[in-house]
Amino acid sequence: MRIYLETQAKLYIQELIKQKKLKLVTSYVLDYENSRNRSSQKRMAIEKFMEDYATFYVSNRNENRIKEYATTIMETGVKEKDAYHVACAILAECEYFITTDDRLLKYQSENIKLVTPGEFIREVEVDYE
């Protein structure tokens, strides 16, 4: 049941992004990870969504600052790939980082709030009703 609810929340979030009620931040790290997606259909769909709806892009031009943030995040036990994703979001001054990764959700920061799609919807739904 949790997977179904998180999927519904994710779809709702995507709709809010399409309606420009939420801003989508992407990054060179996300581009790289998506390029390794084995499913060409999923890879192309994600790429198109990012191209069509991203409002901000974190490039590798900021790699030194991102590496600093990521190194600090990894010291808490977060995996390197995840740390770089979160570091990009922090650099972009995102308020939220939405994930379904239970291990990553354990990371706490004053700079950004990590939440599941469902938690995010519950926190912001008042603004979109």
Residue in 20, 40, 33 with CA at minimum distance from that of residue 101: 33
Task: Report residue 57: phi and psi, to 5°.
Answer: -130, 125
Number of domains observed in the structure of the chain? 1
Structural domain boundaries enclosing 75 = 2-23+60-128
122: in domain: yes
34: in domain: no
* Position 77 pLDDT exceeds 80: yes
30: in domain: no
pLDDT for 94:
97
29: in domain: no
82: in domain: yes
112: in domain: yes
90: in domain: yes
pLDDT for 1:
60
89: in domain: yes
* Position 4 pLDDT exceeds 80: no
The pTM assigned to this predicted structure is 0.89
Average pLDDT over residues 34-51: 96
